[in-house]
Amino acid sequence: MRHHTSTSRGRLGSALDHGTGRPACVPGHGHTDRDGTTTLITDLPYGPKAAEVAREAVSVALHGSEEDLLDDARLIGSELATNAFASGSPPLVLCVDRRCPTAGGLEVEITVTDGGCSHSLPASLPASEEEAESGRGLVIVGAVADAWSLTTGAHGTRAWCRLTRGVRSSTASTLSPLPR
């Protein structure tokens, strides 16, 4: 399967309907607009390799970042891609935004969209059983991300999260995770 990856400047009105805080890139990796924003968008395979491709794409998008941020972002990308494959339909698309806000620090947003699911998903996070081999993906995302959301529908599903590092309190205080 062929994968398509692109970077974009200022994606206002993008097909992913991703309108808040557009994160920035390390020099030399993609296009950076005036506010230091870079977006990496890549198609994910609809299959078990989706998580691996998502981890690799996140690594590329966040090259040079702190190791703890990189680890958290790869984990989240992998979990969101796995959920999209397990519960959704093609196409699967990963979007990684990286931005250094004027307040300092780093904001990273990770979004995975899919073609939707035919069955309804629970409105809240499932309580995973300790011995279950699956079902913890969104619990993990909720524990690691500073903010996140999940929008489901028959024609598309969008899972989004934000990670922040070293952002001054004025920006960080506006970020709150959804209730668990």
The whole-number pLDDT of residue 15 equals 31
Provide the whole-model pTM.
Answer: 0.70
The whole-number pLDDT of residue 73 equals 97
Which residue matches tokens 């491709």? Answer: 53
Q: Where are the domains of the chain?
A: 5-168
Checking DSSP bridges between strand 106-114 and strand 147-151, what pairing results, if any? unpaired
Are the beta carbons of 94 and 57 closer than 8 angstroms? yes
Whether the pLDDT of residue 102 is over 60: the answer is yes
pLDDT tens-digit readout, 12-48: 323 333 333 333 333 333 445 556 778 999 999 999 9
| Out of 99-103, 120-124, 157-161, least confident range | 120-124
Helices 137-144 and 67-87, axial angle in degrees (round to 10): 150
Where residue 94 falls (left for φ over 0; alpha for ψ -120 to 50; beta otherwise) is: beta
Domain range 5-168, CATH architecture: 2-Layer Sandwich (3.30)
- Give CA–CA dist 78/55, Å, rounded: 6
Whether the pLDDT of residue 147 is over 80: the answer is yes
